[in-house]
C-alpha cells in the first residue's frame, strides 16, 4: 500500500503528474464542447469517447497526486478561453477546427517512456503511466482518423448518418444476445422450480 506523504522527499515527477492532470481535464472540456456543437455524428461520437477518457485521466492523475501526499496545483492557461470559444462555436466549421494534418514523427510520450524505462516512478504511478500512454495512443489514432474524415480523406466522409455507429451496433448485438441467453436461463429455472 502506498504510504508516501509530503513528509518524505518530493518525487521529481510530481510536476509531471500535475501537468498531466491539468492538461487532460482541460482537453476533456474542449472536446466535449466541440462534440456538443458539431453536426457530424461520427465526429461527435469520437470526440465524446476521447473527452471521457481525458476527463478520466485528469481525475485519476489528480487522485494519484493526493495518494502521494500532494494536491493539484491549478495554473492559468492564457489560451484556454480562446480555445474553448473556438471549439464551442457552431459557426466555425469542423474543417477549420481540425486544421491541417500535422505529420509528426517524434513520439510525444518518448520522454515519459524513457523515464519509465529508467524506473523513475513508483510502482503504482508506473502502472498508471503505462495505462495512460496506451489510451492516449489509441485516442490519438481515433482522433486522426476522425479528423481525416472531416478533411474528406476517408470513405464515409460524404454525409455521416446520425444512426448508431458500427461499434455501438456491435455492442447492442452483444447485449441483445446476452439478454436472450439470460431469458432462456430464467425460463429453465422457472420450469425447474414448477
Ligand atoms: Fe490527452
Q: How far apart are CA 85 and CA 33, in angstroms?
A: 9
CA dihedral 88, 132, 145, 151 (to 10 degrees): 40
Residue listed under C-alpha cell 497526486: 65
In this predicted structure, what is the pLDDT of residue 3?
47
CA–centroid distance, 192 to ligand 1, in Å, is 53
pLDDT digits (tens, 9 = 90+) for 129-161: 999 999 999 999 999 999 999 999 776 545 445
The residues, any chain, with a CB within 8 Å of residue 191's CB and separated by 6 or more, are: none
Domain 14-158: CATH architecture, name and number where available: Up-down Bundle (1.20)
With beta carbons less than 8 A apart as the criterion, state whether 40 and 160 touch.
yes
Mean pLDDT of 47-64: 98
The pLDDT of residue 84: 97
Residue 181's pLDDT is what?
Answer: 56
CA of 39 to the centre of ligand 1 (A): 23
Which cell numbers hold the place of 189?
A: 429455472
The whole model's pTM is what?
0.76
Centre of ligand 1 from the C-alpha of residue 155, in Å: 27
Compute the distance from residue 3 Cα to the ligand 1 centre, in Å. Answer: 28
Angle between helices 110-117 and 123-150 (to 10 degrees): 160
Residue 128 has pLDDT above 80, yes or no: yes
Amino acid at each position: 500500500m502506498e504510504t508516501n506523504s509530503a513528509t518524505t522527499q518530493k518525487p521529481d515527477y510530481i510536476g509531471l503528474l500535475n501537468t498531466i492532470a491539468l492538461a487532460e481535464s482541460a482537453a476533456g472540456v474542449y472536446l466535449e464542447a466541440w462534440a456538443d456543437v458539431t453536426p457530424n455524428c461520427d465526429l461527435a461520437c469520437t470526440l465524446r469517447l476521447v473527452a471521457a477518457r481525458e476527463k478520466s485521466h485528469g481525475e485519476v492523475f489528480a487522485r494519484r497526486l493526493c495518494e502521494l501526499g500532494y494536491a493539484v496545483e491549478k495554473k492559468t492557461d492564457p489560451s484556454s478561453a480562446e480555445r474553448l470559444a473556438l471549439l464551442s462555436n457552431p459557426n466555425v466549421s469542423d474543417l477549420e477546427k481540425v486544421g491541417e494534418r500535422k505529420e509528426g514523427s517524434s513520439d510525444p510520450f518518448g520522454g515519459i517512456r524513457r523515464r519509465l524505462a529508467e524506473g523513475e516512478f513508483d510502482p503504482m504511478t508506473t502502472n498508471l503511466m503505462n495505462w495512460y500512454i496506451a489510451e492516449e495512443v489509441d485516442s490519438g489514432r481515433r482522433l486522426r482518423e476522425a479528423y481525416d474524415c472531416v478533411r474528406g480523406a476517408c470513405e464515409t466522409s460524404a454525409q455521416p448518418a446520425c444512426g448508431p455507429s458500427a461499434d455501438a451496433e456491435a455492442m447492442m448485438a452483444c447485449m441483445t444476445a446476452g439478454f436472450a441467453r439470460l431469458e432462456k436461463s430464467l425460463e429453465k429455472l422457472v420450469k425447474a422450480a414448477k
